[in-house]
Structure 1
Amino acid sequence: MRLSVIGCGYLGAVHAAAMASIGHEVVGIDVDERKVASLSKGVAPFFEPGLQEILTAGIESGRLTFTTDMAAASGAKVHFIGVGTPQQKDGYAADMTYVNAAVDGLVPYLSEGDIVAGKSTVPVGTAASLTPRVEATGATLVWNPEFLREGWAVQDTIDPDRLVVGVPATDAGTTATDVLRQVYHPAVAKGTPFIVTDLATAELVKVSANAFLATKISFINAMAEIAEVTGADVTQLADAIGHDARIGRRFLGAGIGFGGGCLPKDIRAFAARAEELGRGESVGFLREVDAINLRRRERAVELAVTAAGGTVYDKKITVLGAAFKPHSDDIRDSPALDVAVRLHGLGAKVTVTDPAAIENASRVHPQLTYVEGRDNALQGAEVVIVVTEWDEYRRELTPAHVGELVANKVIVDGRNCLDAAAYRDAGFTYYGMGRP
């Protein structure tokens, strides 16, 4: 099938390459000339495991092309909208500028029977407002939210755990459902749940999933705050309650909290939309979820100050991590980078290292010192703080090896990802989040 993907950022580029990898003919369209030029050469503009391989294969096969010309969408059967919905600069609501521009730009090139499938995370009610513009061309608007995890986005696109399609209650909606089943034929054939809803429900599925995950993370971080004043160990607590099948252990890792380009802005936009609908009290708890999340960053800084003997001024502190999560170079709202910047602001000599995100981080925060290579960064450190749980920090790094490199055996585990007993046995002073 011929498909177009409008917006070739993180979501759009992965979706376009993944659709080409399962056999579709795909054109990716974006207004950013540099991004399009890079993608057209088969060069991924960001780090995402597996993307480079399917991008290269798609370009070489001729099934995948990129352009800045919206007219290239003509002739496609399905048009995916995958542009960003960032937080507004003057408030918490989602900025719908790019979604509206994408639809307006696409409308002149739509034909009778085309399907426009929204994938962007949007406030509930967006699809209803866009429908008249799309239906005036004879096309059908549906909403097909994405559930990508950065670091596993290629896998999540090709082999998702569920597919959700919101469609209008019309014959055109039924036809669109059948077409989307064909688009995702490998996943459908293997029995992946294919959930058909109305438009509003499909929009809510995405934001409610993010809200739930954010709430679960902030819940265990709230328990960490209690643990810190009672001497309890939040990791043991999480293990104990995680055995309850109704709760589960995933996303109960206490630490410096969540970041990235989705969860923080999505829960704020959800709360803002609820206020607009007159139901702000229904998700009022999300304000506290956000507040807890931000407090954990400050707590990590406090632990670093304590670890340094009461002041970090003129102390050499090595920060392991800059990306908001491992297997990504994304630094958007990164708790790791936030902690590094705060320590620098307190007068510390901060050295930051990360396997993938140094280039992005140095562009945004050039005041920090960046070092390629974990061991080089650890050399002579007076305090080490782990803020992104890359395998090369939590699995491949041993206490003995760290001890040979640092000036002081002091470590702050901002992700509770290290073996506390092993570090203490090796002579380290170990500080965890919500751990005695």
Structure 2
Amino acid sequence: MKISVIGCGYLGAVHAASMAALGHDVVGIDVDAAKVEALTEGRAPFFEPDLPELIRQGTAGGRLSFSTDIADAAGAGVHFIAVGTPQLKIGTGADLTYVNGAIAALLPHLRPGDLVVGKSTVPVGTAERLSPAVELAGAELAWNPEFLREGHAVKDTIAPDRLVYGVKLVPSGPLSHRSGAVGILNEVYAQAIANDTPLVVTDFATAELVKVAANAFLATKISFINAMAEIAEVTGADVTQLADAIGYDDRIGRKFLNAGVGFGGGCLPKDIRAFTARAEELGRGESVAFLKEIDAINMRRRDRVVDLVVDSLGGSAYQKKVAVLGLAFKPNSDDTRDSPALDVAVRLHGLGARVIATDPEAIANSRLRHPQLIFGTTDEAIAEADAVVVVTEWNEYKELDPVALASVVRTTIVVDGRNCLDVTKWREAGWTYIGLGRR
């Protein structure tokens, strides 16, 4: 099939390259000329495992191209909208400027029978609002939310754990496939369909809610265990053992029950805030009011990590050297958007600490956001440090040798902001180990 992908940021670039890998002819469209140039040359503009190879294979094989001209999308039968929906600068709702602009720019190039497929995370009601303009051009709109995990995005696109199609309902009730939306999407995802990937065909509103509801649930689970960590710290309980114990219940499960510095990135924080804002617009703000507390718990964890560092240094971080290990919001990513790790580094710097921050992939993005920080290698950060803080659980940090490190730091204090280190190993090496919600 010939496919266009409008928007070549994180979602769009991964989707375009993955669709080409599945055998489709794909053109990616983006207004950022530098980004298009990088992609055309086979360079991913952000870090994502396996993506550069996929881009190079696609462009070399002639199945994948990129352009700044929306007119190059003409002739494609399926058009994916994969632009960003950031948080509004004023307020907590989603900014739909890019979604609205992408649809408006695409309309003159649509042909009768084309299918426009939204992948961007949008407030419920967006597809219903956009559908009439698409239909007026003789095309049909569907909504196909993404469920990508940064660090695993290529796999999640090529071999998803589920597919959701939101299509327009006819007045009589059954789902409308008037332009063959379901059949076309089944052809796009033929490999996943052949592998019996679960498929949910539903209405616009449900498809839009699936993504934000999933993110809200994950955020709730993470903040729940972090709330338990707060209780554990004042009672002497161990939150990690608590999570293990309740995780054996298959109704609960162990995943996302790791207490730590909290969640961040470009999705969970802004999506739960936008969900709350939309619910309030619909007059049902009380239904998701708990998400405000979920957000508050999450932000408190950053405060807690900073407090633990300061307390470990005798009550003041001023002029103390602190090694901050990790800047990306999660491992296998260079994404520093709303990153708790980067936030911890900035806060410690603001308290007068001599922060040396490091990360395998996210230093460049961190420097753009906070040039006041000092960045270095892991060795440079740890040398003569008064305290070491782990805030992104990269494998190379989890595998550090505490015995070897003890000879190069000034003080053997480690604050484990992700509860990812081997407690026994570090304490036996003579370190003062401080975790969150742990004895």
TM-score range, shorter chain: over 0.9
Matches within 5 A, 1:10-29: 10-29=10-29
Q: Secondary structure of the equivalent of 1:332? A: coil
Q: CA deviation at 1:420?
A: 1.1
Moved more, 113-122 or 418-427: 418-427
Query: 1:24 and 1:205 mapped to 2: Cα distance?
Result: 27
For the pair 1:156 / 2:156, whether they are aligned, the reply is yes
Q: CA deviation at 1:172?
A: 3.8
Moved more, 376-385 or 55-64: 376-385
Q: CA deviation at 1:194?
A: 1.4
Q: Secondary structure of the equivalent of 1:35? A: helix
Query: 2:267 and 2:51 mapped to 1: Cα distance?
Result: 19
8 Å contact 2:356–2:380 — kept in the other structure?
no
For the pair 1:425 / 2:395, whether they are aligned, the reply is no
What is residue 37 of structure 1 aligned with on the other side?
Answer: 37
Matches within 5 A, 1:4-403: 4-169=4-169, 171-173=176-178, 175-372=180-377, 374-394=378-398, 396-403=399-406
Unaligned runs of 5+ in 2: 171-175
Q: Secondary structure of the equivalent of 1:47? A: coil
Q: CA deviation at 1:377?
A: 1.9
Q: Letter of the aligned partner of 1:101 in structure 2?
A: G
Per the normalisation by structure 2, the TM-score is: 0.98
8 Å contact 2:331–2:393 — kept in the other structure?
yes
Unaligned runs of 5+ in 1: none
Query: 2:274 and 2:99 mapped to 1: Cα distance?
Result: 15
Pairwise CA RMSD: 0.8
Query: 2:298 and 2:286 mapped to 1: Cα distance?
Result: 20
Deviation by residue 1:75-134 (Cα, 9 ceiling, x = unmatched): 101000000000000000000000000000000000100000000000000000000110
Q: CA deviation at 1:173?
A: 4.7
Q: Secondary structure of the equivalent of 1:405? A: coil
Q: Secondary structure of the equivalent of 1:46? A: coil
8 Å contact 1:167–1:174 — kept in the other structure?
no
Query: 2:392 and 2:162 mapped to 1: Cα distance?
Result: 28
Per the normalisation by structure 1, the TM-score is: 0.99
Query: 2:168 and 2:243 mapped to 1: Cα distance?
Result: 42
Runs of 4+ deviating beyond 6 Å: none
8 Å contact 1:167–1:173 — kept in the other structure?
no
Deviation by residue 1:157-208 (Cα, 9 ceiling, x = unmatched): 0000001000113554571101100001111101111110111100000000
Q: Secondary structure of the equivalent of 2:415? A: strand
Q: Letter of the aligned partner of 2:265 in structure 1?
A: G
What is residue 408 of structure 1 aligned with on the other side?
Answer: 411
Q: Secondary structure of the equivalent of 2:180? A: helix
8 Å contact 2:140–2:179 — kept in the other structure?
no
8 Å contact 2:145–2:164 — kept in the other structure?
yes
Query: 1:387 and 1:342 mapped to 2: Cα distance?
Result: 13
Query: 2:293 and 2:219 mapped to 1: Cα distance?
Result: 11
Query: 1:262 and 1:328 mapped to 2: Cα distance?
Result: 14
Q: Secondary structure of the equivalent of 1:39? A: helix
Q: Letter of the aligned partner of 1:217 in structure 2?
A: I
Query: 2:94 and 2:418 mapped to 1: Cα distance?
Result: 29
Query: 2:205 and 2:3 mapped to 1: Cα distance?
Result: 24
8 Å contact 1:168–1:198 — kept in the other structure?
yes
